[in-house]
């Protein structure tokens, strides 16, 4: 790889509304992955095989698109490799593999709740690094976590498995890494380059766990049930790779150019809400009134965090504006 090229980092122009819209769209794309992929698993593929196909196809699409339209994204300086490898290991491969292990040993609702405790970890990390978060923001995070617990129905078949618990906590750490490393990469370089290389690193790891050549051809051609449609399994894998991976990661990482990780991760809690709603609409899975209540509480918590961040940004901009005349010669 080239080591003598200057950094090609686009100028950062933040826009809170744009960032919020991007992370909401990313949550919709991420949240649809389970609904799209589940029929493929019911047809005979393992979760690891679906993850390998999803990330592997996404990596191929991203690398090919970059090579044709933006080849400069494939040129990486030596000092950029730690960020790209960390993002790929944590934000791509780690989240997928840890979640699948947790879901295999714990109730799915508990596994989801453990993964999406990442906003708390991000808030703690932010606090440890010297940035004080308002008490109201902590309250919004807590409110969103309560809503998430209701949406995930964590009380259904609750059981404790040490390996599953550790894997669930690992998925939370990896999810926090996705937001924190994504924020750093998106604000110092090109988000699409970060996603492309991160996806390639993640694909190498996940495909080592579930090699693509182990995918059974008979299952790939079999019809699956997705609401009123009966697409072949291979079509679902392509859909989850393009919509729920390529588009989701690109939108989510681009949002981190405009929103801090502590805010984006709370808005990202919409993902399990979207997953529950799409599973109810397309797969016929039940949706209780408690889950609806949890959705309202979750959205309320996310709105509180967004509102606090908006006021903080306005105060910071006002402070800069007031300080400028004083500093002028």
What pLDDT, on a 0 to 100 scale, did the predictor assign at position 13?
A: 58
For residue range 256-284, list pLDDT tens digits in order. Answer: 999 999 999 999 999 999 998 999 999 88
For residue range 105-163, list pLDDT tens digits in order. Answer: 877 778 888 899 999 999 999 888 888 888 898 999 999 999 999 998 888 766 668 88
What pLDDT, on a 0 to 100 scale, did the predictor assign at position 141?
A: 94
Check: pTM over 0.85? Answer yes or no: yes
| % of the chain surpassing 70 pLDDT | 90
Mean pLDDT of 194-206: 96
Question: What proportions of the chain, in percent to the nearest 5, are helix, strand and coil?
Answer: 75, 0, 20
Q: List the helix and strand counts (H, then E) for the chain.
A: 16, 0
Task: Report domain extents, the chain.
Answer: 16-318
Task: With cut-offs at 50, 70 and 90, classify the pLDDT of residue 30.
Answer: very high
Q: What radius of gyration, in Å, describes the C-alpha atoms of the chain? A: 20
Sign for the CA dihedral angle at 282, 286, 292, 297 comes to negative
Q: Following DSSP, what letter does each residue of 90-147 receive, concatenated? A: IIIIIHHHHHHHHHHHS-HHHHHHHHTTHHHHHHHHHHHTTPPPPHHHHHHHHHHHHH
Higher confidence at residue 130 or residue 182? 182
């Amino acid at each position: 790889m080239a080591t003598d090229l200057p950094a090609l980092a686009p100028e950062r122009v933040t826009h809170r509304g744009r960032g919020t819209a991007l992370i909401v769209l990313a949550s919709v794309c991420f949240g649809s992955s389970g609904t799209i992929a589940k029929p493929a698993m019911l047809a005979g593929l393992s979760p690891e095989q679906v993850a390998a196909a999803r990330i592997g196809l996404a990596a191929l699409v991203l690398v090919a698109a970059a090579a044709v339209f933006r080849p400069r994204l494939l040129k990486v300086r030596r000092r950029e490799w730690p960020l790209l490898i960390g993002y790929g290991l944590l934000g791509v491969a780690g989240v997928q593999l840890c979640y699948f292990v947790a879901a295999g040993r714990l109730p799915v609702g508990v596994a989801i709740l453990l993964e999406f405790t990442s906003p708390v970890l991000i808030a703690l990390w932010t606090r440890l690094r010297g940035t004080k978060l308002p008490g109201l923001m902590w309250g919004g995070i807590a409110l969103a976590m309560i809503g998430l617990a209701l949406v995930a129905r964590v009380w259904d078949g609750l059981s404790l498995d040490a390996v599953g618990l550790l894997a669930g906590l690992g998925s939370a750490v990896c999810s926090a890494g996705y937001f924190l490393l994504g924020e750093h990469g998106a604000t110092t370089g090109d988000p699409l380059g970060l996603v492309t290389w991160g996806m390639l690193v993640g694909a190498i790891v996940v495909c080592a766990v579930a090699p693509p050549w182990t995918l059974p051809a008979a299952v790939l051609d079999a019809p699956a049930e997705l609401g009123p449609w009966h697409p072949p399994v291979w079509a679902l894998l392509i859909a989850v790779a393009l919509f729920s991976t390529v588009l989701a990661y690109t939108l989510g990482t681009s949002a981190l150019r405009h929103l801090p990780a502590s805010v984006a991760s709370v808005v990202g809690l919409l993902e399990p809400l979207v997953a529950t709603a799409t599973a109810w609409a397309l797969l016929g899975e039940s949706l209780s009134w408690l889950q609806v209540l949890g959705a309202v509480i979750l959205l309320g918590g996310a709105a509180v965090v967004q509102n606090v961040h908006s006021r903080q940004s306005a105060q910071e901009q006002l402070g800069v504006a007031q300080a400028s005349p004083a500093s002028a010669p």
